[in-house]
Structure 1
Amino acid sequence: MADDRMAEVFAAVRLGSGDPEAAQRLLEELWIEIGVGGDPLHRCLIAHHLADLQDTADGALLWDQRALAAVFGPGVPLDEGLRGFLPALYLSLADSHRRVGDFDTARMQLAIARGHLDILANDAYGAVVRAKLDRVGAALTAASKESLPAG
């Protein structure tokens, strides 16, 4: 059976490349519709992508924290679907903490992301996460709070 809610999430995410404001509105609407008791994977994905659409580092950090909270909420089983996002979630948290100038927490989050790399396959997604991990690590070493280019 197809997951209609997941299809809605992915449609909103795809919209983000052409119309980030519309994507943000749709994802925020889905976040509200799903609510705190909604599917943890849906909540995680929505929050993770909303973090990328924020205008400020503080806003991104808030949504990154919400994404991780969706994974580790009370009674949420850490299944393979959620485990597969841990490297990217911790990497995003590291980057957001770096961008707000909290370098110690950023280093800790980056170390946690590295500790979860074994979860990733040697595919395109894994390569993207590993490459971004290197870029965030270099920016952290340089004590940079600048946003990194996408990609």
Structure 2
Amino acid sequence: MTEQQEASKDAVMTRIGQAIMLLHGGDREEARNRLGGLWSEIGEDGDALHRCTLAHYMADAQDDHGDELAWDLRALTAADSVTDERAAHHADALAVRVFYPSLHLNLAADYVKLQRPDAARTHLDRARAASGALARDGADDGYAGGVRAAIARLELRLRDM
């Protein structure tokens, strides 16, 4: 990959990050518009890391639970297609394995919202199994603890369904 191609890929991640900041700032509509434009540029066959990241956050920008599920499924599909070669060329790609607990947790939450507890339990089990890739003990940066706590909360919620 040339330096220009790598810089272009970094620009895509920067633009995704800018849309995420809008989302976290409460401007869901503008975040959704920007992420949608980026998705059109990247395309269904674009860089898997970009598709995974974008779809993961695009799901959070949805108002409809079915649309949220569709985007979370796209994120998981993209994560599954991040190749070893891609991981070797971009440090952020190595973090994809750490993304799996969150990807499955989001899918479980989507299925709860859609009143599909069996599917929710399946993805909750997958989230728990994948959580071994998260930081442990003193190396925990807060993300791992947050994901594990969310898994535990959703597990309690599912007991009532």
Q: Tell me the TM-score normalized by structure 1.
A: 0.87
Name the counterpart of 2:16. 9
Structure 1 portions without partners, runs of 5+: 144-151
The answer to whether the Cα contact below 8 Å between 2:35 and 2:58 also exists between their aligned partners in 1 is: yes
Unpaired runs of 5+ residues, structure 2, are 1-5, 88-93
Identity level (%): 40
Q: Distance in 2 between matches of 1:125 and 1:81?
A: 12
Aligned with 1:116: secondary structure?
helix
Question: C-alpha separation between the residues in 2 aligned to 1:138 and 1:94?
Answer: 13
Q: Is the 8 A contact 1:120 1:126 kept in 2?
A: yes
**Conserved? CA contact 1:41–1:81, under 8 Å:** no
Equivalent residues of 2:48, 2:79 under 8 A apart? yes
Cα displacement string for residues 82-122 of structure 1 (whole angstroms, at most 9, x for unaligned residues):
21210000000111011101111110100000001111112
How big is the shift at 1:132?
1.3
TM-score, normalization by structure 2: 0.82
Contact 1:90 1:109 in 2 (8 A): yes
Over 4 Å off, 4+ runs: none
Select the residue among 30, 40, 61 that pairs with 1:53. Answer: 61
SS of equivalent to 1:18: coil
Q: Within 5 Å, give how 1:11-90 maps onto structure 2.
A: 11-16=18-23, 17-73=25-81, 76-77=82-83, 79=87, 80-90=94-104
- Which of these residues, 90, 95, 103, is aligned with residue 109 of structure 2? 95
Higher helix share: 2
The aligned residue for residue 3 of structure 2 is none
2:98–2:131 CA contact under 8 A, matched in 1: no
Partner amino acid, structure 2, of 1:85: F
Task: Give CA-to-partner distance per residue, 1:8-31, whole Å, 9 cap, x none.
Answer: 101100011231110011011111
